[in-house]
Structure 1
Amino acid sequence: MALSYRTRRRLSALILVVGLPAYIVAAVTLTGWINDRYGRLPLLAELAVYVTLGFLWALPFRFVFRGIGKPDPETETERSGDRSA
């Protein structure tokens, strides 16, 4: 089932406002647990973990974010650059 443009916009906002901060807390907690359990990772290894986790959070949500920055394709009339008051 395909989500409408409006639903995808709302869902993407919810993911960015609620889901991403929760994921960041989980990632920092996970790396803190690794550091406590095995000792501090080397700087480049820790950087690699954060970069990998930063990339992985978006993979399940690609279909939600695809095309969000573009105009609504479901509207019949195209919005022109004119903005009359």
Structure 2
Amino acid sequence: MGKAPGLSYKARRRWALVILLIGLPLYIVLAVTLTDWLRGRYPVLPALTELVVFVALGIVWALPFKFIFKGVGQADPDAGPED
């Protein structure tokens, strides 16, 4: 059986760690800056609209990285059976 194309299991784990430790905090700063800007520009922004913005920003960050996070919590599929 041939090897699957794309990133190896170890590479996906490393990239997932980099994304969670560096990328996610940067994204959080960006999201807070965006919402503060929206509040400054539209001071009477309804609470429901603000909630929708926060939920959308909370989901959108993970979509591009879905293929990296998929299966990272599982055992290494390339490793042999443990004896």
Do Structure 1 and Structure 2 share a fold, with TM-score over 0.5? Answer: yes
Read off the aligned partner of 1:78 and give its amino acid letter.
P
What TM-score, normalized by structure 2, do the two folds share?
A: 0.89
Deviation at 1:68, TM superposition (A): 0.3
Measured against aligned partners, the alpha-carbon deviations of 1:3-55 in whole angstroms (never above 9, x if no partner) come to 00000000000000000010011000001011111214211111110000000
Residue of structure 2 equivalent to 1:44: 48
Count residues in correspondence: 79
Partner SS for 1:71: coil
1:60 maps onto 2:61 in alignment: no
Indicate the residue corresponding to 1:83 in structure 2: none
The answer to whether residue 6 in structure 2 is matched with residue 2 in structure 1 is yes
Equivalent of residue 82 in structure 2, options 72, 76, 79: 79
Choose which of 34, 37, 53 in structure 2 pairs with 1:33. Answer: 37
- Percent identical among aligned pairs is 53
RMSD: 1.3
AA partner of residue 37 (structure 1): R
Output the TM-score relative to the length of structure 1: 0.87
Which residues of structure 1 form unaligned runs of 5+? 81-85
Q: Shift of residue 78 of structure 1?
A: 2.0
Provide the C-alpha distance between the structure 2 equivalents of 1:56 and 1:78, rounded to a whole number of angstroms.
37
